[in-house]
Chains A and B, each alone.
Chain A
Amino acid sequence: MSDAANIPFVPLDFADSPVNQALSAEEKIDLYRTMSRIRRFEQASLKQYNLDKMGGFLHLYIGQESVAVGTCSLMGADDHVITAYRDHGHALAVGMSMNECMAEMFGKQTGCSKGKGGSMHFFAPDKNYWGGHGIVAGQTPLGLGLGYALKYQEKDGCAMCFMGDGAVNQGVFHESLNLAALFEIPIVYIIENNGYSMGTSQKRSSAYRDCLAQRAEAYDMAWDLVNGEDLYEVRAKTHIAMERARKEKQPTVLEIETYRYYGHSVADANTKKYRSPEEIEKYKQHHDPLLLWKRRLIDEGIATEEQLKAIDKEAKQEADASVIFAEESPAPTLADVSTDVYWEVDNQTTAGNTGRHFFND
């Protein structure tokens, strides 16, 4: 018998991982700030949605903040991000401004997509952020393409492609996994598992043995399961997957367990029917990523409760200001409807000026 049985059990603390050891106190506070900004932005969005200031859907990220913030905090110059329609958290995490995001939802010219995309379609290629995509799993081969391009151009980066747990049953996701493994694409697929694909629980929508990420085994691909409420764990495990992509050109599927407090979208009338109020309350009390990170920062002696409250207050002020910015911005004109359709037309090239491109009167 080995001595292992006599060694006391100490739970793994991902704070000890090198990528977390490297964090300065200021960087740890910044992670809190970004999570707080996302939450305040989403709260302001909800309020404005209910005031009928925006159209369409609103898929809130509240409860999942640690996932976008933890993963995107690891991005280098050649790392790229793409996600589905629950895209506000990633947008702020990669550095987009609240103003351009709020204005986009208000359908204003100053929006990141000039009011042509809306809540589900935020983009910032200058920040390596490629959307913002509305069709479940439709972005999964696009992410593959980002990784393909990076490898083709011999850049030392990777793609992170986010999706919800409802996306894993779409055929194109499986096609993407096969291609990722076959072509050795530097990509990390991140399933943000909040337990529900719209109103259908994981057990009612997916066939699986232990977890969803395990499906990667069918494609001889690495995978891992991540506790999303722990920012240190999100960073530690995502870092390993990103390095595998960058250095070994090998893909990974990460399943990050998380929770959304609101419905699939704000239009989800059954949000309190397919799960109990007690379940939601349990997550808010015991698993909230902001609350847990706040405690951690206080326990580590990095910040005080008051300092963090001040950060929350600033975030709320920034969100409120973005509402005013959006409100006061001009709406698109009828002429704007017909721009940004063809690159060649927008740029008035010879090709753009040859033949009829639009078939109005």
Chain B
Amino acid sequence: MREISYREALREAFDEELAHDENVVIMGEEVAQYNGAYKVTQGLWEKWGDKRIVDTPISEAGFIGMGVGASMLGIRPVMELMFWSFHSVAFDQLVNNAACVRYMSGGLINCPIVMRGPANGGTNVGATHSHVPEGLFAAFPGLKVCCPATPADAKGLMKSAIRDNDPVYIMENTLLYGNKGPVPDPSEGEHIVPLGVADLKREGSDISLISHGRCVLHALEAAEQLSAEHGIECDVLDLRSIRPLDQDAIIKSVMKTNRAVLVDESKPFCGVSAQITTLIQEYAFDYLDAPIKRVCTIDAPAIYSKHIEDEQLPNPKRVIETVLSIA
């Protein structure tokens, strides 16, 4: 299979969906003439023009609210946050208007928007640019949230999100944009990954590593070392989608391995893995042979220093240590 980058995979999804539906509009800061702060939208403005690819001013509450409003009349805005960290200045639009307008109108309205952009630490940009808010937004009923880890999932989830009739918030990762991986060629048919379906990226019988986003790559690397050096075989389950959530896949894996380590770039308090933990204890309690353990970002605002930031984040070394503590 051909290999393309995560960035190119996203771009291919936009290009295909722009062709698929004339109501799809890409908007955000620097997405058009500048070709995207991270070059995800490179070339799209040249191809699709001003109407479909829209540069907005640095005005997140304004343009996101505008996109939500336009979606009520049938436009399908795909809006870029240059960093998901900037969500805080548009929070009212993201959680009051986008998440609640369907409910408060008794189902008369729906908001087919996609909010997307990178949400990750690890780039030495300090606390205000390093938030990972997938758990935060997944806590609002009415919103859907997903975190692709690979180019194929990035493309497939993005296409599903754009076609979805509810608001979908996609958390990408600046450290993944350049990663290459196999993505089916468009000539082989449409590549779509549904929301709410996890992917077992590695099979093993001793312990379940449950993860999403870039942490999936840490889990996979740790799994290889654990296999080679300790003879421990891990299931690596990539959630891909946080809400809707593939609970069945989680429980199935834990029932098989009887042990779980959750690898999650969220902070520990009420992060995604806290929710997964409660589901496992509720639905697979009798299958557990050890306490559920978590590898999260160390509980402090993101440190700037490049000498230590990677240690604050989940990494293969921390995953291995945690697995060995219960395996």
Which A residues have a C-beta under 8 Å from some C-beta of B?
80, 82, 111-117, 121, 123-125, 130-135, 138-146, 148-150, 152-153, 171-172, 175-176, 178-179, 182, 339-344, 346-347, 349-351, 354-359, 361
Interchain CA distance A354-B243 in the complex, whole Å: 10
| B178 interface residue per 8 A CB criterion | no
Contact B142 A117 (CB under 8 A): no
Interchain CA distance A116-B23 in the complex, whole Å: 29
Known A152-B51, A351-B164; judge A340-B69 contact (CB<8 A).
Answer: no
Interchain CA distance A123-B144 in the complex, whole Å: 23
Question: Which chain A residues lie closer than 8 Å to B67 at the CB level?
Answer: 145
Contact B105 A123 (CB under 8 A): yes
Of B57, B65, B142, B194, chain A has the most CB atoms within 10 Å of the CB of B65
Contact A357 B243 (CB under 8 A): yes
Which B residues have a C-beta under 8 Å from some C-beta of A?
23, 25, 51, 56-57, 59, 61-75, 92-93, 96-97, 101-110, 112, 141-142, 144, 160, 164-166, 194-197, 241, 243-247, 275, 279, 282
Question: Which chain B residues lie closer than 8 Å to A340 at the CB level?
Answer: 102-103, 105-107
Interchain CA distance A134-B144 in the complex, whole Å: 23
Question: Which chain A residues lie closer than 8 Å to B51 at the CB level?
Answer: 152
**Which of A113, A123, A144, A149 is in CB contact (< 8 Å) with B65?**
A144
**Which of A123, A134, A145 is in CB contact (< 8 Å) with B68?**
A145
Known A131-B101, A138-B96, A356-B245; judge A172-B165 contact (CB<8 A).
Answer: no
**Which of B25, B75, B102, B195 is in CB contact (< 8 Å) with A343?**
B102
Interchain CA distance A176-B57 in the complex, whole Å: 11
Contact A153 B62 (CB under 8 A): no
Contact A351 B105 (CB under 8 A): no
Contact A179 B57 (CB under 8 A): yes
Contact B59 A175 (CB under 8 A): yes
Interchain CA distance A152-B76 in the complex, whole Å: 11
Question: Least Cβ distance of A172 to chain B in Å?
Answer: 4
Contact B69 A146 (CB under 8 A): yes
Closest to A117 in B: B104
Interchain CA distance A132-B97 in the complex, whole Å: 11
**Which of B56, B66, B195 is in CB contact (< 8 Å) with A351?**
B195
Interchain CA distance A339-B103 in the complex, whole Å: 8
Closest to B112 in A: A343
Contact B247 A356 (CB under 8 A): yes
Interchain CA distance A344-B161 in the complex, whole Å: 12
Question: Which chain A residues lie closer than 8 Å to B69 at the CB level?
Answer: 82, 130, 141-146, 148-149
Question: Which chain A residues lie closer than 8 Å to B245 at the CB level?
Answer: 355-356, 359
Question: Which chain A residues lie closer than 8 Å to B107 at the CB level?
Answer: 114, 339-340, 343, 346
Contact A152 B244 (CB under 8 A): no
Closest 8 CB pairs of A and B: A355-B196, A145-B69, A141-B65, A355-B244, A175-B62, A114-B106, A340-B107, A142-B69
Interchain CA distance A95-B282 in the complex, whole Å: 50
Question: Which chain B residues lie closer than 8 Å to A139 at the CB level?
Answer: 97
Known A149-B73, A342-B166, A343-B166; judge A172-B65 contact (CB<8 A).
Answer: yes
Known A123-B109, A171-B61, A341-B141; judge A141-B56 contact (CB<8 A).
Answer: no
Interchain CA distance A144-B104 in the complex, whole Å: 20
Question: Which chain B residues lie closer than 8 Å to A131 at the CB level?
Answer: 101, 104-105
Question: Which chain B residues lie closer than 8 Å to A133 at the CB level?
Answer: 97
Closest to A353 in B: B196
Interchain CA distance A123-B104 in the complex, whole Å: 8
Closest to B74 in A: A149
Contact A138 B141 (CB under 8 A): no
Question: Least Cβ distance of B66 to chain A in Å?
Answer: 4
Q: List 6 A-B contacts (CB under 8 A).
A: A138-B93, A140-B65, A141-B68, A145-B75, A179-B56, A342-B166
Question: Which chain B residues lie closer than 8 Å to A116 at the CB level?
Answer: 103-106
Knowing that A113-B105, A343-B166, A356-B244 are A-B contacts, what are 7 other residue pairs whose CB atoms are under 8 Å apart, sorted by A's residue number?
A80-B73, A130-B69, A130-B109, A131-B105, A153-B75, A176-B62, A355-B194
